[in-house]
Structures are given as structure tokens and as C-alpha cells.
Amino acid sequence: MRHQQAAAVRRKQGEAIGEELRNQFQHLLAEPLPDHLLDLLNALEQQESET
């Protein structure tokens, strides 16, 4: 019984951690992309189409 309760607590803790990791990832996903990364892609495309 005690073992089952401990397992249930651990499972809840694991779920909470998963939730926090998802929140953290979503927060990072929502950050605006730096211009230099998009500029680099445009430059690569332009360079390729010129050659």
C-alpha cells in the first residue's frame, strides 16, 4: 500500500516535471527569432540562385 502511494507520488512528480519542461520549451519557442539567422538563410538562398 505504502509502495503504491510512493509510486503514485513519483508519477505525479514526473508528470509535473514533464509539464514544466513543456512550458519551458513553449516559452523558448515563443521567443522572436534573431534577425541574423533569417538573414543568413536569405543570403544562402541568394548565393545559391546566383551560381
Partner 1 sequence: MSVSVTHKAEMGTKRLGDFKLALVEVLPALRAFARSLCRNAVEADDLVQETMLKAWSARNSYVEDSNFKAWTFRILRNALYSNWRKSSRLTQLDDTVYEKTAKAIDNAETSLELAEVSEAIRHLPLEQREALILIAAGGFNYEEVAAITGVAIGTIKSRVSRGRSSLIVLMEKRAYQRTRISALGAAQELMNDADRLARPALVAG
Distance CA 20, CA 38 (A): 29
Region for 31 from its dihedrals, namely left if φ exceeds 0, alpha if ψ lies in -120 to 50, beta otherwise: beta
Q: Does 36 bind partner 1 (CB under 8 A)?
A: yes
Q: How many residues bind partner 1 (CB under 8 A)?
A: 27
Q: How far is the CB of 51 from partner 1 (least distance, A)?
A: 11
- What's the distance, CA 7 to chain centroid? 28
Q: Does 22 bind partner 1 (CB under 8 A)?
A: yes
Site of interaction with partner 1 (CB under 8 A): 10, 13-14, 16-18, 20-26, 28-29, 31, 33-34, 36-38, 40-41, 44-45, 48-49
